[in-house]
Amino acid sequence: MNSAELIVEVEERVCWLLINRPEKMNSITMEVLARIEEELVRFEQDPHVKAVAISGVGGKAFCTGVDLSTMAAGASYFDLHQARARLGSLFQKMWRYPKPIFAVVDGYALAGGFGLAAACDFVVASEDSAFGVPEINVGVWPFIITVPLLRYVHPRVLLELMMTGRRIGAEEALRIGVVNWVYPKSELRERAAERIAEIASKSGSILALGKASFYRALDMDSSSALAYLQSMLTVVTGLEDSREGLTAFIEKRPPEWKDR
């Protein structure tokens, strides 16, 4: 279900969601945010899709945040306040999503685009990529994206980036933990596909429960998290795929996952 501003491709059991606004450095409108959510819902139960990858068209930008000019057209002060919740809603949807989500970053990932990348489960970036939260330079603060960024960037480092508006390259982003892999620009999609295939080859049911427990545990205190994770271990060991994995290990053969 392609549109002018979001291209959807399914390739090798991966759904690629490509932000298609290169003339606007892939800044996103409320409509694009809504379409991303719709496509996530559409492929959530599709057994032929094992993972989702979000990227941008054009090679200059992954995403440079929300296009504020499209938000402001004819909107009231209250309307704008309500619309800003849309990005946070998408982040929550992504964290609850049962399949792994990858950001494939080529070029700029700035402001809400940096937050969108951080909200993905994994980030693959080209060597030419740059990340930053420049809102302070235009008299704003990156409030909403603080949540996904704080999950991966040390608070002291993140506060410095927010207060200075400084951009960082892919290697520094890798070093501070917001990026998983960095590759040459010419190899990005091919190498990203390899990393996605590696993770998507695992049991879908265990990936789903494991991902859900990971994000839930992040928001818990230690005692509550330990009790919750203990119960999740009991749940997972009752899955058909868990039994298959242990049997395959004992029999020294590759497991045959059923995703259940």
With a cut of 70, say whether residue 199 has pLDDT above it: yes
- Asked if the model's pLDDT at residue 9 lies above 70, the reply is yes
Is 259 part of any domain? no
- What percentage of the chain has pLDDT greater than the value 70? 97
The pTM score is: 0.94
Domain for residue 1, yes or no? no
Same domain, yes or no, for 193 and 210?
no
**What six digits make up the tokens of 90?**
């998408």
State the pLDDT at residue 180: 98
Residues 152 and 169 in one domain: yes
* Residue 86 and residue 105 in one domain: yes
Alpha helices (runs of H) in the chain, residue ranges in sequence order:
30-44, 68-72, 77-83, 85-96, 112-119, 146-150, 155-164, 170-176, 188-200, 204-218, 222-237, 240-251
> What pLDDT digit, counting tens, does each position of 163-183 carry?
999 999 999 999 999 999 999
User: Is residue 68 scored above 90 in pLDDT?
Assistant: no
Place 76 in a pLDDT band, splitting at 50, 70 and 90: confident
Q: Residue 110 in contact with residue 167, Cβ under 8 Å?
A: yes
Specify whether the CB–CB gap between 60 and 108 falls below 8 A. yes
Whether residues 162 and 76 fall in one domain: yes
Instruction: State how far the Cα of 50 lies from the Cα of 250, in Å rounded to an integer.
Output: 26
42 and 132, same structural domain? yes
- Asked whether 133 and 142 are in contact (CB, 8 A), the reply is yes
Cα–Cα distance, 256 to 167 (Å, whole number) = 45
Give the residue from 180, 203, 218 showing the smallest Cα distance to 260.
203
Residue 12, judged by CB atoms within 10 A of its CB (0-12, 13-18, 19+), counts as exposed
- Which tokens hold the place of 46? 């599709």
For residue 123, the cross-strand partners are: 103
CATH number of the domain where residue 80 is located:
3.90.226.10
Residue with tokens 């049991």: 203
> Average pLDDT for residues 50-66, to the nearest whole number?
97
Going across the sheet that includes 61-63, the strands are 61-63, 108-110, 130-132, 167-169
Which domain does 246 fall in, by range?
204-251
Over 90: is that where the pLDDT of 75 sits? no
Looking at residue 72, its pLDDT comes to: 60
Least-confidence region, from 31-40, 81-90, 142-151, 243-252: 81-90
Read off the pLDDT of residues 21-55 as tens digits, 9 standing for 90 and up.
999 999 999 999 999 999 999 999 999 999 999 99
Flag whether 210 is in a domain.
yes
Question: Residue 177 to residues 64, 123, 225: CA-CA distances in angstroms?
Answer: 20, 10, 23
49 and 63 in a single domain? The answer is yes
pLDDT 10s digits, 150-164: 999 999 999 999 999
